[in-house]
A and B are shown apart, each in its own frame.
Chain A
Amino acid sequence: MLRGVTKRFVSGLEALGGVDLRVAHGEFLSLLGPSGCGKSTLLRIVAGLSEPTGGSCELHLGGQSGKAIPAGHIGFVFQDPTLMPWSTVRANVELPFRIAGRVRAAERDRVAAALHAVGLAGFEGAYPHQLSGGMRMRVSIARALVTGPELLLLDEPFAALDEITRLALNDDLLRLWELHRPTILFVTHSVFESVYLSTRIAIMAPRPGRIVADLPVSLAQPRERAVRTAPSYALMCERVSAALGAAMSEAPV
Chain B
Amino acid sequence: MMTGNAGQRAARLLAPLAIGIVFLAAWEAVVRVEGIPSYILPAPSAVAQSLWVDGPSLFGSLLVTLRITLAALAAAAFFGGAIALLFSRSRILELSLFPYAVILQVTPIVAIAPLIIIWVREPFLALLVCAWIVAFFPIVSNTTVGLNSADRNLLMLFRLYGASRGQTLIYLRLPTALPYFLAGLRISGGLALIGAVVAEFVAGTGGAETGLAFRILEAGYRLAIPRMFAALFMLSLTGIVIYLVLDLLSRLLLRRWHESALNEEEE
Q: Is B one of A's binding partners?
A: yes
Residue A99, interface by CB 8 Å: yes
Q: Cβ of B171 and Cβ of A98 under 8 Å apart?
A: yes
Asked if A72 contacts B172 (CB within 8 A), the reply is: no
Contacts of A100 in B (CB 8 A): 161-162
A72-114 near B? 1/0 per residue, CB < 8 Å:
1010101010101111000000011011100000000000000
Flag if A99 contacts B167 (CB, 8 Å). yes
A106 to chain B, nearest CB (A): 18
Can you spell out 9 A-B residue pairs with CB atoms less than 8 angstroms apart? Answer: A48-B160, A71-B161, A80-B153, A86-B256, A96-B161, A99-B158, A100-B162, A129-B259, A130-B266
Assess whether A127 is interfacial by the CB under 8 Å rule.
Answer: yes
Complex Cα spacing A72 to B163, Å: 11
Q: Which of A49, A85, A98 contacts B160, CB < 8 Å?
A: A49
Interface size on A, residues (CB 8 A): 25
Are the C-beta atoms of A86 and B161 separated by less than 8 Å? no
Interchain nearest-CB distance for B73 vs A (Å)? 24
| CA of A128 to CA of B266, assembled, Å | 12
Q: A47 near B: Cβ within 8 Å?
A: yes
Is B118 engaged at the interface, CB distance under 8 Å to the other chain?
A: no
Contact with B along A49-81 (1 / 0, CB 8 A): 100000000000000000000111010101010
The secondary-structure label for the interface of chain B is helix
Known: A82-B153, A99-B171, A127-B257. A76 touches B162 (CB 8 A): no
Interface residues of B (CB under 8 A from A): 151, 153-154, 156-163, 167, 171-172, 175, 178, 256-259, 262, 266-267
Bound-complex Cα distance A148 to B162 (A): 16
Closest 6 CB pairs of A and B: A71-B162, A82-B153, A99-B161, A99-B163, A86-B257, A86-B175
Distance between Cα atoms of A9 and B126 in the complex (Å): 53
Q: Which residues of A contact B162 (CB under 8 A)?
A: 70-71, 99-100
How many pairs of A and B residues are in contact by the CB < 8 Å rule? 57
How many angstroms from the CA of A100 to the CA of B163 in the assembled complex? 8
Which residues of chain A are near B154, meaning CB under 8 Å?
A: 82, 84
Task: Decide if B266 touches A47 in the complex (CB within 8 Å).
Answer: no
In the complex, what distance in Å separates the CA atom of A98 from the CA atom of B157? 13
Which residue of chain A lies nearest to B266 when distances are taken between CB atoms in the complex?
A: A130
Among B157, B167, B257, contact of A85 (Cβ-Cβ < 8 Å): B257
Q: How far is the CB of A129 from chain B (nearest CB, A)?
A: 6
User: Which B-chain residue is minimally distant from A147 (CB atoms)?
Assistant: B161
Cα(A98)–Cα(B168), bound, Å: 11
Closest A residue, CB atoms, query B172:
A84
Q: CB distance B161 to A72 under 8 Å?
A: yes
- Nearest residue, chain B, Cβ from A50: B156
Select from chain B the residue with minimum beta-carbon distance to A49. Answer: B156
CA distance in complex: A231, B204 (Å): 91
Q: How far is the CA of A115 from the CA of B98 in the complex (A)?
A: 45
Known contacts being A84-B175, A99-B162, A99-B171, is A76 close to B258, with CB within 8 Å? Answer: no
Report the nearest A residue to B158, measured CB to CB.
A99
* Contact of A95 with B160 in the complex, beta carbons under 8 Å: no
Contact present for A47 and B160 (CB under 8 Å): yes
Q: How far is the CB of A62 from chain B (nearest CB, A)?
A: 14
Contacts of B171 in A (CB 8 A): 84, 95, 98-99
